[in-house]
């Protein structure tokens, strides 16, 4: 499992997944795994409405909201501007959760988020300004 992490596991900071909502969902526009990351609840709410997903409660100030489509996150690791989300590829599934941003540098506003399966298959990635 750790081969695709590229560095020894002890060099990564594990980040807790705080679940908000998850379940089965269908949208013909999203057949592949996709990731959306939000700091602002207003932007998150607009995306959830557009995707016809349930709204969530407000987040603590130091958290980021993440919407994963066709993917269920199980573990998250952070190391120098890269956030690796490891989980299961799940067709017609959504997972909304939050993570703390206290480990991310305050001056750097661009982070690389990548979705991986347990076997190391890269499903999706996005560079996100936070």
6 pLDDT more than 60: yes
Instruction: Specify the DSSP element, H or E, that contains 42.
Output: helix 41-51
Assign 1 a pLDDT band (cuts: 50, 70, 90).
very low
> What was the pLDDT predicted at 89?
96
Mean pLDDT to the nearest integer, 75-86: 94
106 vs 112, more confident: 112
Mean pLDDT to the nearest integer, 7-31: 89
130 pLDDT more than 80: no
124 pLDDT more than 60: yes
């Amino acid at each position: 499992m750790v081969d695709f992490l590229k560095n020894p596991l002890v060099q990564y900071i594990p980040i807790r997944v705080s679940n908000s909502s998850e379940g089965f969902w269908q949208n013909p526009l999203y057949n592949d795994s996709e990731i959306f990351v939000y700091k602002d609840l207003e932007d998150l709410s607009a995306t959830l409405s557009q995707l016809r997903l349930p709204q969530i409660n407000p987040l603590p100030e130091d958290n980021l909201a993440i919407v994963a489509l066709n993917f269920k996150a199980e573990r998250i690791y952070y190391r120098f501007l890269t956030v690796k989300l490891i989980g299961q590829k799940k067709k017609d599934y959504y997972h909304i959760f939050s993570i703390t941003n206290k480990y991310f540098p305050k001056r750097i506003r661009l982070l690389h988020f990548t979705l991986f399966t347990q076997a190391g298959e890269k499903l999706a990635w996005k560079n996100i300004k936070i």
